[in-house]
Structure 1
Amino acid sequence: MMIRLKYSAFYKKILLLALVIPGAGMSAKAQDIMGNIERFASAFTPERAYIHYDKSSYSPGETIWFKAYLMAEVVPAEASKTFYIDWIDDKGKILQHTIGPLVNGMTNGQFELPASYTGKSITVKAYTSWMLNFDSSFLYTKKIPVVTDAPPSGKTGADLKPTLTFFPEGGDAIAGLANKIAFKAVNAFGDPVKLSGVIVDGAGKFVDSLRNIHDGMGYILLTPKANTTYTAKWKDEKKTEYTTPLPAIRPEGISLKVALAQGKRNFEVQASPGVAAGTDSIHIIGTMYQHPVFSISRSLKATAVSGSIPLESLPYGILTITVFDKNWKPLAERITYVDNNRAYSWPAAMEVEHWGLSHRGRNELVISLPEAAPASLSVAVTDLAIGVDSSENILSGLMLTGELKGKVYNPAYYFKDSSLTTQQKLDLVMLTNGWRRFNWSKLLSGELPAIRYPRDSAYITVSGKLAGIMPSSISPASSIIVMMKQKDTEGKMLMMPITKDGRFNDPTAVFFDTARVAYKIQDKTLDGSMVQFMPDKLRVPDPGNAWMVPFKADTAGSAYHLKLAAAANAIAEKNKYKELEAVTVAAKTKTPVQVLDEKYSSGLFKGDMNSIQMDVLNDPFAKSAMDVFTYLQGKVAGLQISGSGSNASLNWRGGAPQIYIDEMPADVSFASSINVNDIAYIKAFRPPFMGGTNGANGAIAIYTRRGDDVKPEPGKGLSASRIEGYTAIKEFYTPKYYSQFVSPEADKDVRTTIYWNPNVVVDPKKNQVLISFYNNDVSDAFRVVIQGMTLDGKLIHHEENME
């Protein structure tokens, strides 16, 4: 609550900028516009995420350990309580959908990369349900290298041509006005390309040269002529020649120039003669994190409108400057970065109290912060020889790239210092990357967008909803008893009232992993009603197309990393299996699918009968599917499934197949309501299916668990189901060696991650914390990465080698 009050006061303070900019007096209309923008910003505050991993690349069979940090504007994102991560292979399949609880905008967990994985990368897509309401470009996505000895398959993108793209400052190049036109040259992987070339007009006459300023970016200064085209003729590093047309020249419009100066941004607006004749004034609005921070209205009688924007009262981040005509139609827009991050990021310090670079040696580190404040850190110590990717960190992720569309190459570079030179290079990033959080026409009219995904403002708990009943049949005394049992834990009984809309919930019953529940409704008038558990749980969204981006698989230290990973997997395999006594096979063993078919199917549904059979009961990936149709996608040749849940649409040979639940006809809505964890077996009968009516387009027979597949505990004779909560969070194993003597029988310690702790808590009364860890049997140098966040949103980053 204190943060909210402080934050509200903060924005009231920066709105005072409008009073110190000359000519910034606001009309009633301008005040209405500013009010609409502020209402939008307050109601639709976007969230952004950054994930710190224990290392930068992995080998099949290894565990990816992570800590997630989320921010809303410049404070921790405390409104959302649940964080989702999709782990996607290089073919677009979601391997696992993990769910973590957010506490003060932070959560942690792990993903076990399958030992059989053969891909060269894995894509991480992470989000809150609230983030899904906005442009998918702002969701967190990252491709992580997977180090394997498998040969590359197909094209990797290395043979694709580089691209050169031009970006006129303000949005358009206007005839007769001086324009700055930025450019960016990248290869197929999004990495910068050094180029050389010239700009020529339609007659082939030289206009300007293309000059690289930083990482494939630069700009030209051009006063274009009307009805003239301009072309770039350029060469890449291989001296291959290309031609790229510049954007079309607009005959009329507004040019917006922004220049960097110490502590301020200078701007200049020029209008072409036609625009100047059609509007006698312009409006200029500045926004940060969607909030309005200044408003200016000026006459267009002068040849140019110029001014300065002071920055000292603004936070760090992207300042958007938008120019409107007198009727508030947007004409030009420019983003610029406000580098006031020194007040929002803290430099951590690290001191080695005890060195242990020898094998199994003990190490002690003291991590210090500049001030005493409650903070949570994630600390990773890895073998220095496996390589590291320092191109991004928590500062660049939450202060820059989380607010931009498109890839930024080496974003961490822009936070190495706050010099004017670095800021000028960062301004090239602003000129060559997209940003658009809202639709101006709808926003200015006061129209707010519809919310498709409600915010997860409460944690995942034992909850449910009664279906197939009238609200009038629910009395104030109606309740449900739920008996809950999890593996290796004692069972518990929950008694929850049923509300008028049929819902029940115990906000204290937050749980992890899966649980078996048995339930009994304490109201005879509600007998026969169906109970849907966890009805508001987010369904897994489409994986998107980030996994399709070309990816460079070569990583520094990959050979050494692969060697140690192979040794670790061999040790794990040896310890996993024991030598078994010989067994004489007297009869042919039935497959699990045959066992399920004999147990569940009957009559015309029994046997192979030109069907595709799916053992859902023993499928480890079944629990990641949010409904039966999500699970079926891609598993049945010819069956096309679009949409999900009750909105799913099925098509097989030109029509919809008949759906059966336990061999009884059902519809899509009912089938989608069944928890996949309650399904044991599915048979998809190819068209035509003669076992029932309307089988011309085949049939999908879904069998729910019963008998031995549903344990009667904890309540004999009660209806039962299985529910899934947050993904279980494991603890990173850190061995303690009290002696450096190694027994000949002992397994060799070849860990590449020496230490990982996602929850290093700094005492608010102190400004330092001590951590200790033991070396493995092979490493002689470490890489230490420390990242974190304070409860008021200050970000912490430090990297250092121990060698």
Structure 2
Amino acid sequence: MLLSTRLRSRRLLSLLAMVALLAGAAAFRLPPDDEVVRRIVEGVQRYYGAALPEKAYLHLDKAWYTAGETIWLKAYVVDARLHRPDTLSKVLHVDLLNANNQVVARRNLLLAGGLAPGDIALPDTLTPGNYTLRAYTGWMRNAGPDFFFSRRLAVWPAAPVDAPDSNPVAVRARAAAAFRAAAAVAAPPDVQFFPEGGNLIAGLENTVAFKATNHDAHGLDMQGQVFDAENRAVASFRSSHLGMGTFTFTPVAGQRYHAVVAPAAAPTTVPLPAVQATGYILHVVTLPNDFLVAIQKQGGSGGPVLLVGQVRGTVAYVARSQMSGAEAFTMHIPKSKFPGGIVHFTLFDGQGTPLAERLAFAQNQSALRVTLTPDQASYHSRQPVRVRVAVADAKGQPIAANLSLAITDSEGAGSSAENIASHLLLTSDLAGYVETPSYYFQNPTPETAQHLDALLLTQGWRRFVWKAVLAGQAPVRDYGVERSLGILGQVTQPNGKPVPNSKLTFLQSSPIKQVLSTVANSEGHFLFTGFGGCDTTRVTLQARAKDARAVVLRLDAGPPVATRPLPPLPLQAPVALKEALSRSQQQRAAERQFRLDTTKFILLDGVNVRGAKAQPVDSRHLHSPNDAAVINMADLPKSNLTVLDYLRGRIAGVSVSGDVRNPSVVIRGGSTINGNASPLYLLDGLPVDFQDIVAFQASEVESIEVLKGPGAAVYGSRAANGVIAVYTRRGSPAYKPSSESAPGVIVLNLPGYHCGREFYVPRYDAPQTNRDFPDTRRATLYWNPTVRTDASGKAEVTFFTSDAKGTFQLSAEGLSGEGQAALGNGSLQVK
């Protein structure tokens, strides 16, 4: 735990007194030209110069969603050292994972100068729960998933929260949540102890940090005592923030210590790390303007020691001293020496071997201030709004910046758990889940500084290990820089052993036709790259070994996901969120009837199906099988024909005319609407354009169903001309994940870049704007991912209010060209 204020003050005064006594006798000094120093500094620079680490951040329009809404986002990819918008990678992958860590949506974003807008449309039928949104480049995979952007998102039911029985999806989700919550409560807390500097050193006063989390990785308030092997109490502790804190005690050589922790279902006993008879303590106290660093030694022959302070590979402090006996060395190090962010203090011996390490935080880089000023104090419905945007630094100097701006319902909005400043300066350099990181930046006080210090003591982690850096080892480079989309994989034998130098043939059938070939490397790995555009690429890959033996194509499955499932949503929505959820759900209901945007999807009313339990359940069908004429592809011979080829002459009333360049389909009995007699096309239950169906290979299809008349009514007015529904083999819940159609042959659809939708902004000053139906925008009134301030730090955006009334929150985030994070909030009143 963090000590009480009185005890902390007493310890600080004691330490300051020790500094005064020792300042004249022993102090660190800047080293002269030193071979060890040169080797350490050059090793860090060489490592970062070769690794070229990247960071990714996603600014979202809001912190929570309901099923059926759209996640609007802006991607920022920067170099990890200076946080300047990155130009190394050109592709950013964005995954949405459900509570079981399965990918339910994936977007490939084309980066321009490290920036890209995007969106993810959540289906109405999406299971409510907690989801993870993560973003990464191919190059970031070398550092591992710990350094991906990752954020938890709550997705609430589309049906009203007060009437869950009206939505069977919500009923199932709530039942599952109740079961998982009951099981989780019984799980013991996860409690860990971390000696400051790395080890417990006998005979010296040690600071020990601890962290206690529950089943969903949230901090758990706790208290307890530390006992030696004879069960004599030697220390007590109590958490002060999110289950974290510190305590001190002096361990004895040869003793074993354990802690007894409460509260829990039963007292939990946790062993402390083993005590080292000799070693060094590296103690750091964070003061308002500097770091007070104290070094103590126990045992050994002594000798020269070296203290190095670096931030993201920039070595900003180096000092050397000579230690012998039990003397202590202390020093004040100004925070101004360091770039803003996590400081790694590392103590080395005279040969450059690391002895102890301690993380601290230099909170000396304020985010740029974004001022958002509406041109009026309040507005009426469907009235124009002009918002002036100004960006300035801490001294008030104007700054050019690239921003994204969200205006959302302030009811239940609260403050985001993370923002671009907290991510770039803190969480992107820590492994694991960090709870509410923006807390440490919103109100910088001595108390929050202590809480942040406890976080770094318990969750500190570095991007490299000193052994590799000092040995001159190159960083791992299993993945290259992605400048376009590609296909990565490996050719193996059926037993998994790689097949070296096998020949691969690449055949692309859409959107263009081409044939390529390459040879796998000595480990059987291969890469086809150079794909672009928004279209899905239809690809057939074939691999052949030189000795004609059987081979298997294994495509890259993407980065690993967490094995621990996410916690369920609470059974009842938080009070602060309940009204906002109700409003959002009402908006979704209205949008089922009136669509203001330009998307081609139709949102359909929910259908409750009661009947015998069947496994597996195919959620792609909304209609009854008895209402459709069905072509079962399993009953027909395999060929290279398209879906339209199989429709010709097989179903009464369906007319297919024209050639492959200009085909036409008409279902007799349909009613022409606005001159359009085309039926509604569905692919695996989703509305698609005719061009998405016309050339679809029948070999990949499980069945084709045709509906007309009353049977098509479930799909709404767009189905007045009938429905042609195509169901793929891969979309079936019974489909096995093996995608090989023959040994060494694989067929796949490679998704292109996500060319996202533009947020719909009606203009009520334009004569062609339809005013006959309600404008329901409330949850997100306005989203603009491309706000750029000029050299004077200014920009302006305009939009119209909707029919919704109340208070709206304005939130802007972004970056300057020099890598400074920018933040700002405001409010908007609609009467």
TM-score (norm 2): 0.69
The change in CA–CA distance for 1:635 and 1:39 in structure 2 (over 3 A counts) is: farther
Give how far 1:313 is off.
Answer: 3.3
1 CA distance for matches of 2:258 and 2:740? Answer: 62
The counterpart of 1:280, out of the listed 298, 303, 313, is 303
1:230-629 correspondence to structure 2 within 5 Å: 230-236=257-263, 241-273=267-299, 276-277=300-301, 280-302=303-325, 303-342=327-366, 345-370=367-392, 371-456=397-482, 458-460=483-485, 510-514=532-536, 540-545=558-563, 547-548=565-566, 554-575=573-594, 576=602, 589=628, 591=630, 594-595=632-633, 598-600=636-638, 618=684
Give how far 1:597 is off.
Answer: 5.0
Q: Secondary structure at the match of 2:375?
A: strand
Aligned partner letter, 1:362: P
Give how far 1:446 is off.
Answer: 1.2
Question: Retained in 2: the 8 A contact 1:81–1:101?
Answer: yes
The change in CA–CA distance for 1:513 and 1:33 in structure 2 (over 3 A counts) is: same
2 CA distance for matches of 1:588 and 1:772? Answer: 49
Counterpart of 2:146 in structure 1 is 137
Q: Deviations over 1:78-98 (max 9, x none)?
A: 211111011112233212220
2 CA distance for matches of 1:283 and 1:735? Answer: 64
The change in CA–CA distance for 1:132 and 1:482 in structure 2 (over 3 A counts) is: closer
2 CA distance for matches of 1:169 and 1:28? Answer: 29
2 CA distance for matches of 1:263 and 1:286? Answer: 16
Aligned partner letter, 2:225: V
1 CA distance for matches of 2:219 and 2:582? Answer: 32
Give how far 1:335 is off.
Answer: 0.8
The change in CA–CA distance for 1:730 and 1:660 in structure 2 (over 3 A counts) is: closer
1 CA distance for matches of 2:636 and 2:516? Answer: 41
Aligned partner letter, 1:374: A
1:715-754 correspondence to structure 2 within 5 Å: 724-738=751-765, 746-747=773-774, 749-754=776-781
Question: Retained in 1: the 8 A contact 2:303–2:350?
Answer: yes
Question: Retained in 2: the 8 A contact 1:180–1:221?
Answer: yes
The change in CA–CA distance for 1:327 and 1:115 in structure 2 (over 3 A counts) is: same
Counterpart of 1:183 in structure 2 is 210
Give how far 1:228 is off.
Answer: 2.3
1 CA distance for matches of 2:268 and 2:127? Answer: 37
Give how far 1:65 is off.
Answer: 0.5
Counterpart of 1:14 in structure 2 is none
1:212-231 correspondence to structure 2 within 5 Å: 212-231=239-258
Aligned partner letter, 2:638: Y
Q: Larger deviation: 254-263 or 305-314?
A: 305-314
What is the identity percentage for the equivalent residue pairs of Structure 1 and Structure 2? 26
Q: Secondary structure at the match of 2:558?
A: coil
1:86-105 correspondence to structure 2 within 5 Å: 86-105=95-114
Q: Secondary structure at the match of 2:100?
A: coil
Unaligned runs of 5+ in 1: 1-19, 465-470, 474-479, 486-491, 519-534, 580-584, 603-615, 642-649, 651-658, 678-722
2 CA distance for matches of 1:577 and 1:404? Answer: 41
Counterpart of 1:128 in structure 2 is 137
Is 1:78 paired with 2:93?
A: no
2 CA distance for matches of 1:586 and 1:115? Answer: 22
Give how far 1:59 is off.
Answer: 0.9
1 CA distance for matches of 2:470 and 2:574? Answer: 48
Give how far 1:69 is off.
Answer: 1.7
Give how far 1:161 is off.
Answer: 3.5
Give how far 1:757 is off.
Answer: 0.7
Counterpart of 2:155 in structure 1 is 146
The change in CA–CA distance for 1:728 and 1:406 in structure 2 (over 3 A counts) is: same
Q: Secondary structure at the match of 1:80?
A: coil
Aligned partner letter, 1:37: V
The change in CA–CA distance for 1:660 and 1:415 in structure 2 (over 3 A counts) is: closer
The counterpart of 1:155, out of the listed 174, 180, 183, is 180
Question: Retained in 1: the 8 A contact 2:340–2:425?
Answer: yes
Q: Secondary structure at the match of 2:585?
A: helix
Give how far 1:358 is off.
Answer: 3.4
Counterpart of 1:787 in structure 2 is 813
Question: Retained in 2: the 8 A contact 1:83–1:128?
Answer: yes
Give how far 1:66 is off.
Answer: 0.6
Question: Retained in 1: the 8 A contact 2:67–2:128?
Answer: no
The change in CA–CA distance for 1:546 and 1:395 in structure 2 (over 3 A counts) is: farther
Aligned partner letter, 2:748: V
Give how far 1:310 is off.
Answer: 3.3
The change in CA–CA distance for 1:155 and 1:481 in structure 2 (over 3 A counts) is: closer
Give how far 1:127 is off.
Answer: 0.4
Give how far 1:787 is off.
Answer: 0.8
1 CA distance for matches of 2:50 and 2:751? Answer: 31
Counterpart of 1:16 in structure 2 is none
1 CA distance for matches of 2:603 and 2:421? Answer: 45
Q: Secondary structure at the match of 1:146?
A: strand
The change in CA–CA distance for 1:566 and 1:214 in structure 2 (over 3 A counts) is: closer
2 CA distance for matches of 1:462 and 1:290? Answer: 33
Aligned partner letter, 2:820: K
Q: Deviations over 1:14-66 (max 9, x none)?
A: xxxxxx96142353244233322211111113222221111111111111111
Q: Secondary structure at the match of 1:396?
A: helix
2 CA distance for matches of 1:780 and 1:537? Answer: 51
Question: Retained in 1: the 8 A contact 2:291–2:334?
Answer: yes
Question: Retained in 2: the 8 A contact 1:169–1:181?
Answer: yes
Counterpart of 1:521 in structure 2 is none
1:28-39 correspondence to structure 2 within 5 Å: 28-39=35-46
1:664-683 correspondence to structure 2 within 5 Å: 666-667=742-743, 670-671=744-745, 674-677=746-749
Aligned partner letter, 2:756: I
1 CA distance for matches of 2:784 and 2:773? Answer: 25
Aligned partner letter, 2:111: L
Give how far 1:739 is off.
Answer: 10
1 CA distance for matches of 2:410 and 2:343? Answer: 39
Counterpart of 1:702 in structure 2 is none
Aligned partner letter, 1:514: T
2 CA distance for matches of 1:536 and 1:340? Answer: 48
Question: Retained in 1: the 8 A contact 2:774–2:803?
Answer: no
Unaligned runs of 5+ in 2: 1-26, 158-163, 165-169, 490-500, 541-552, 595-601, 606-623, 641-681, 693-699, 701-728
TM-score (norm 1): 0.71
Question: Retained in 1: the 8 A contact 2:403–2:812?
Answer: yes
2 CA distance for matches of 1:428 and 1:634? Answer: 49
Q: Secondary structure at the match of 2:45?
A: helix
